[in-house]
Amino acid sequence: MTSQTDLIFDPQLIRRFDINGPRYTSYPTADRFVEAFDAQALTDWLGKRAVGGVSRPLSLYFHIPFCNTICYYCACNKIITKDHGRSAKYLNYLEKEIEMQAAALGGTRQVTQLHLGGGTPTFLSHAEMHQLMDAVRKHFNLVPNGEYSIEVDPRKVDFDTVEMLANLGFNRMSVGVQDFAEDVQIATNRVQSVEETKLVIDAARATGFKSISMDLIYGLPKQNVISFNRTLEQVLELSPDRISLYSYAHLPGLFKPQRRIIPIDLPSADSKLQILQLAIRRLTDAGYVYIGMDHFAKPDDELTVAQRQGRLHRNFQGYSTQAECDLLAFGVSAIGKIGPVYAQNVKTLDEYYDALDRDELPVLRGIELTADDLLRRSIIQALMCHFELSIESIEIAHLIKFHEYFADEIADLKEMEEAGLVKIDKDWISVLPAGRLLVRGIAMFFDRYLRSDRERARYSRVI
C-alpha cells in the first residue's frame, strides 16, 4: 500500500505519456450516451429506486446557466445576460422539473448532498435563491449536516449574500479565481481582485461554512512561472481548504468564447509544465495533499480523510465523499445517475421549456450500464480515487477472473509499467508516484469504448 501524498513530477515521462483523454467524471463518458434513452426511461428508473427494499440517499445537482459577463476560457454551458427576467422564468420551469422528478421517485427522499453549479449560481437574486431552496425542501428532506455547496463568483457577492446562503443551509463554497495576475485577467476577461476574493472567503468563514474550495487554471494567456508563483502566494495566504488546479484546454473550435484568446499569448507546452511543477511543489510544501486529478486538500479535509479511509468517490462535480448516492440533476445539460443509469438533460433553454410544457422530463440522452460497464466503472473509480485497485475485491464483486478478463489491457499497460508509472501483480494494480499525474491515461486502458475507438481528438490533453 502506498502513501497518498507521494507524487513524483517527471517532465520527460509526462511529455511521453501526455495524450488526449476523458476526465472520467463518469464511465461510460457522456459522449457515449444515446438518445434512445429518453424521458420515459428515466421515469421508469426513478420509480425503481426502492425495488428490493434498498434505497440510496440522494445527491441533488442544479445547473444555473446564467452569467453577467463572459470569461473567455470558459467551456461550461452558460448564457450571458444581465436580464433577471430570464432567471425568473428559468426558476419557474426548474420548479416544475423538481416536482416531476419527485413525483416519479421511488424510495427515500433523504438528501445528504446538494450542489449548485453553473454558469454562476449567485446570478440569482436573494428572493430567487429562497424560491429555489423552498421548492427543494418542499419535495426533499435535506438531512442536518449534509454537504450543501455552491459555486460563487466573488465579483458579484457581498457579506449579506454569503450570510443569506448560510441561512439557507449552504455550508460549502467553491470560489472561482483562475489567476490573480492582472494581465492574465484582462486577457481572459475576468478581472477580480484579491481583496474582493478575500471578502467572500472571510464572510464564508464568519458565517459557518465548513469548507472553502478555490479554482485555479494553468495554461492561460499571458501566464508564466513568475506571475503564477505570485498568485500561489496570494492563494496560500487566503488558505482555502481545497484547491482545484485545472489545465486550460484551448479548443476554440468547440467553445466559441475561446476564439477571443490570442493563441500567441498562450504559454508554450514547456512553460505550462513548469507552471504545473511549481504549483504542485508550492501546494505540497504548504501541506496540501494531492488527492488526484487536479485536486489538492488540507490533511484534515473531508476529501483527504475519505481517501485515507478508502471512501473517496468521483462524480460530475469532481471528487466527493458520497459514493453511495443516487444523483438527481436539474436544469439544462445537467447529468444525473440513478443506480446503473445516467441521464443528461437537453442543452438549450428552448428545448428545456418545450419539454416541460409537454409535461415531459427534459431528457436528451442517457445510458443503461451493462455488467461490463459496471465492472470497468469500478476499476476506473478505484484508480482515479485511490491510485490502487484490489484485484480480489473486483473478482468477488463482479464474478470474473481478472487476469483472464483483462489480459489485453494488462499487456497494453506493459509500457507504462516498464516506465515506472504503474505496478501490476497478482493481487494489486498500483499507480506509482511517477504515474499519479497521468492517472487518466492509465484509466483509459480499461475504457472499452476507447479501445474500439482510437479517435481521441475530442478530449482535452491529460496534462
pLDDT digits (tens, 9 = 90+) for 186-213: 999 999 999 999 999 999 999 999 999 9
pTM over 0.85: yes
Residue 279 assigned as binding residue: no
DSSP 392-422: HHHHHHHT--HHHHTHHHHHHTHHHHHTTSE
Question: What burial letters (b/e) apply to 165-204, b meaning 16+ CB within 10 Å?
Answer: bbebebbbbbbbbbbbbeebbebbebebeeeebebbbebb
Q: For residue 61, say whether it is annotated as part of any ligand binding site.
A: yes
Output the nine-digit C-alpha cell for 106: 421511488
Residue at 335 is within a domain? no
pLDDT in tens, 274-313: 999 999 999 999 999 999 888 999 999 999 998 888 888 8
On whether 151 is known to bind a ligand per the annotation, the reply is yes
Q: How far apart are CA 455 and CA 220, in angstroms?
A: 26
Structural domain ending residue among the three candidates 306, 329, 352: 329
Same domain, 292 and 440: no
- Asked if 383 and 288 sit in the same domain, the reply is no
* 262 annotated as ligand-binding: no
Q: What is the mean pLDDT of residues 175-187?
A: 96
The radius of gyration computed from the CA coordinates of the chain, to the nearest angstrom, equals: 22
Kindly state whether residues 422 and 294 are assigned to the same domain: no
Q: Are residues 8 and 49 in the same domain?
A: no
Same domain, 316 and 392: no
What pLDDT is stored for residue 10 in this prediction?
87
394 is in an annotated binding site: no
Which stretch of DSSP H or E encloses residue 328? Answer: strand 326-330
To the nearest 10°, the Cα dihedral for 128, 133, 135, 140? 170
Q: How far apart are the C-alpha atoms of 385 and 33, rounded to whole Å? A: 23
The verdict on whether residue 325 carries a ligand-binding annotation is: no
Q: What percent of the chain has pLDDT over 70?
A: 96
C-alpha cell at 311: 471512501
Average pLDDT over residues 381-405: 94
The answer to whether 335 is a known ligand-binding residue is yes
Query: Which CA distances in Å does 203 have to 49, 155, 193, 238, 258?
Result: 39, 14, 16, 12, 33
Residue partners of 134: CB distance under 8 A and separation at least 6: none
Same domain, 301 and 446: no
Residue 421 CA to residue 430 CA, distance in Å, equals 9
Structural domain contains residue 361 = no
| 76 labeled binding residue | no
Convert the pLDDT of each residue in 343-379 to its tens digit.
999 999 999 999 999 999 999 999 999 999 999 999 9
Same domain membership, residue 101 and residue 4 = no
Is residue 251 domain-shared with residue 282, that is, in the same domain?
yes
- 75: burial class by Cβ within 10 Å (0-12, 13-18, 19+)? middle
Omega prior to 21 cis, within 30 of 0: no
- Residue listed under C-alpha cell 427494499: 53
Which of 297, 329, 361 is the C-terminal boundary of a domain? Answer: 329
Q: Is residue 341 part of a domain?
A: no
120 is in an annotated binding site: yes
Q: And the C-alpha cell for 7?
A: 507524487
Which of 416, 205, 463 shows the shortest CA–CA distance to 446?
416
Total domains in the chain come to 2
Q: Determine, yes or no, domain membership for 116.
A: yes
- From residue 349, alpha-carbon distances to 32, 74, 130, 358, 400 in Å are 23, 19, 22, 14, 45
Report the CATH number at residue 4.
1.10.10.920
**What is the number of alpha carbons within 13 Å of residue 155 lying toward its C-beta?**
16
Domain that holds residue 405: 1-27+370-463
Cβ atoms of residues 415 and 444 within 8 Å: no
Last residue of a domain, one of 303, 329, 355: 329
pLDDT at residue 338 greater than cutoff 80: yes
249 among annotated binding-site residues: yes
